[in-house]
Chains A and B, each alone.
Chain A
Amino acid sequence: MKLNDAVWGALLLALALAVLWNIQGFPRIPGQNIGPGAFPGLLAIIMIPCALVLVARGLRKDAPKGSFGAWLRSPGHVGNFLLTVGVLAFYIVAADALGFIVTATLILVALFLKLRVKPQIAIPVALVAVFFIHVIFYKMLRVSLPWGVLPILY
């Protein structure tokens, strides 16, 4: 997913201006003419010329136009990408309600099947891997992973 440099320049310019606008409300250290706004302000000011050069580069005639990258033309790979992002989002939403073991197993099976692992391998491997990770983090490192729908087993 390659965007034209001019688009990046515009985005960064907007970011720099947003930072400059945001720091106007920052208080100063009493008795000093410098405060918490000084450093981010300086960064934003340096960012502006960088962004402008990027815009100028992107607008040159010979600049590479935005291109979609080979993988974006392959539905399977776009699916892989979206599924990876999707399972992470799914974990955030579902982990507390369903519990770690159920959520993680679902995630693994979904990814395995999408990556063409045979179901008779995908399901046992997912169960064993989740159990392993759970023992390491829950039992040995004492991370309070949620149990969710399952009763507390160990």
Chain B
Amino acid sequence: MDVYLQALQLVFDPYVLMVILLSAVYGLFVGCIPGLTATMATALLVPVTFFMPPVPAVAAIVTATAMAIFSGDIPGALLRIPGTPASAAYTDEAYAMTLKGQAEVALGAGLWFSALGGLFGTLVMIFMAPSLAEIALNFSSFEYFWLVLLGLAGAVFIGSSSILKASISLLLGLLIACIGLENPGGHPRFTFGVNELLSGVNLIPMMVGMFAISEILRYMVNLEPPAKIVNAKIGNVFKGMWALTLEYKWSLLRGNVLGTLIGIQPGSGADMASWMSYAMSKRFSKEPEKFGTGHVEGIIESGAANNSSLAGAWIPALVFGIPGDSITAIAIGVLYIKGLNPGPMIFVNNPQSVYAIFLVFILANLIMLPLGWMTIKLANNVLRVPRNILMPIILVFCIVGSFAINNSLFGVGLILFFGVVAFVLEENGFPTAPAILGVVLGTMLEENFITSMIKSDGDPTVFFTRPIAGGLAFFTILILLWPVGAWLVAKARGRLAQPAARPAE
């Protein structure tokens, strides 16, 4: 009981509450502006959280991301541009509702069901994480090796448009993780004689570069003219929400469960959750013909799913130190910096901090309702913030943030380098999320690989003969073989279909 009280004290501290409030406003603002993603919001927050105690630092990230994922729905409904990629799945639907004069229902559903989804994911996390941690206490380097590999395989093989390019991106990330002294032999690897690289590539400037500078560059070369805002009358957004909740309770539940599961699955996050939920909703709907014409059902299901995936992603992050998406990848970096090393031991050594994180999640999803309501009211003004003024200011913020970590201009060099690299890679179809997971997990993967190899005296069969390790190995290999299998099936089908098609030639 003491631990719960301590957690309450940690969260209900005026300073922490102020941080939560400010980061909520910040998250709502960033999510609402198209072109600024929730991941970018997190990356920009990190330099500031660097100077905070652990609990407010994590609280800032949790709150800002939850808000940003919701408020990404707002420009979707009013501009037909998703504020964050996680809202893209139902942007057309929400915009169609606005054109039909139902903007308040679309936005209200986005807000209400985002909060419900977030709370559902949080409850799953509260009940699941501690018991998973107890199991994880028995894991050895073999199990961890497979867990990390399973996470990385999931990031590459599930939902990437090009598995080859995602794999290459992952390998590049893992190679970046090799830079520096922190390796089994304590040998300086790939440092090119640069002293700053001895401790490895600093994660914070790298993430600011990959997720903020690259976005700024993309804005700078964007040829599309600014979108027109629909001047929609927005009344009481909460009106009729309870009726919708009762009417679509199964959709809501399905969205919640699927979202949380996709969140837990390492490597895929809110965007994937909302796309899959939208598809699922259409598949199971009684009136699928209404989808795309301004029907609220899909918004309910995938709006709930993308917020529930946020909490889901924290489960593997806290229990194993394996991020569930790129946002938690950044958050894990923050946890390490704050000395709250994620992993099962955090539940033993620091349970009050874990419970405090749970509390923050609940609090964030509750204050989302009033603050989100205010954002919707102000949306027309927020959307008019001129981006040719905003983007340069964000750039200066990136510079200061990356400098602040070590008081060194080397950080500014890093954001420049990684910003340009991420921009060029994305232009060429290489996704950046696998790279960031590779960098975050590279050290852990290598450490467990080398430890396991030394323990087994170079005998690789031990990786498969321990029961849990064997099971994890099975799943990993299943994911790795999935695309090959799918390709073979498609080929076999094509061959069967071909003879029929030939006479027509």
Question: Does the CB pair B412–A88 fall under 8 Å?
Answer: yes
Contacts A80-B220, A116-B388, A141-B48 known; A34 to B450 CB distance under 8 Å?
yes
Point out the residues of chain A lying under 8 angstroms from B343, CB to CB. Answer: none
Contact A144 B407 (CB under 8 A): yes
Q: At the interface with chain A, which of B177-185, B237-245, B288-296, B330-338?
A: B177-185
CB distance B175 to A43 under 8 Å? yes
Q: Chain A residues with Cβ under 8 A from B183's Cβ?
A: 36, 39
Q: Are A85 and B427 in contact (CB-based, < 8 A)?
A: no
A residues 99-142 touching B (CB-CB < 8 Å): 100, 104, 107-108, 111-112, 115-117, 121, 125, 129-130, 133, 137, 141-142
Q: Which residues of chain A from 1 to 35 have a CB within 8 Å of any chain B CB?
A: 1-3, 8, 12, 15, 19, 22-23, 26-29, 32-35
B190 contacts the other chain (CB 8 A): yes
Query: Is B396 touching A133 in the complex (CB atoms < 8 A)?
Result: yes
The distance in angstroms between the C-alpha atoms of A100 and B409, with both chains bound, is 12
Determine whether the beta carbon of A92 is less than 8 Å from that of B187: no
- Beta-carbon contact of A84 and B217 below 8 Å: yes
Cβ distance B192 to chain A, nearest Cβ, rounded Å? 10
Across-interface contacts of A71 in B (CB, < 8 A): 221-223
CB–CB A26/B409 < 8 A: no
Does A70 count as interface, using CB distance less than 8 angstroms?
A: yes
User: Separation in Å of the A89 CB from the closest CB of chain B?
Assistant: 7
The reply to whether the CB of B377 lies closer than 8 angstroms to some CB of chain A is: no
Least CB distance from A149 to B in Å reads 17
The secondary structure that dominates the B interface is helix
Minimum C-beta distance from A35 to chain B (A): 5
Contact flag A107-B220 (CB < 8 Å), given A39-B178, A54-B168: no
Q: Is the CB of A104 within 8 A of B403?
A: no
How distant is B26 from chain A, measured CB to nearest CB, in Å? 13
Place the interface of chain B in its size category: 35 or more
- In the complex, the answer to whether B400 meets A81 with C-beta atoms within 8 Å is no
Q: When the two chains form their complex, are residues B404 and A27 in contact, meaning their CB atoms are under 8 A apart?
A: no
For chain B residues 150-164, which have a beta carbon within 8 Å of chain A?
Answer: 164
Contact A108 B392 (CB under 8 A): yes
Name which of A32, A84, A85 has the most chain B CB atoms within 10 A of its CB. A84
| Assembled-state Cα–Cα distance A34/B420 (Å) | 35
Contact in complex: B412, A92 (CB < 8 Å): yes
Mask: chain A, 41-66; 1 = CB below 8 Å from B; 0 = not = 00110110011011001000000000
Q: Which residues of B contact A27 (CB under 8 A)?
A: 185, 187
Question: A50: shortest Cβ distance to chain B, in Å?
Answer: 5
Would you give the shortest CB distance from B487 to chain A, in whole angstroms? Answer: 13
Those of B201-220 within 8 Å (CB) of chain A = 213, 216-217, 220
Residue of B nearest to A128 (CB): B393
User: In the complex, which of the residues A26, A50, A112, A144 contacts B388, with contact meaning CB atoms closer than 8 Å?
Assistant: A112
A49 to chain B, nearest CB (A): 10
List 19 additional A-B contacts (Cβ < 8 Å) besides A40-B190, A92-B416: A1-B424, A36-B187, A39-B178, A39-B445, A71-B221, A78-B221, A81-B221, A84-B217, A85-B416, A95-B403, A95-B412, A104-B399, A108-B396, A112-B389, A125-B389, A129-B393, A133-B397, A133-B400, A145-B400
Some 16 contacts from A to B, beta carbons below 8 A apart, are: A2-B428, A26-B187, A35-B184, A35-B185, A35-B187, A39-B445, A43-B178, A53-B164, A83-B220, A91-B412, A92-B413, A95-B403, A107-B399, A115-B392, A133-B396, A141-B404
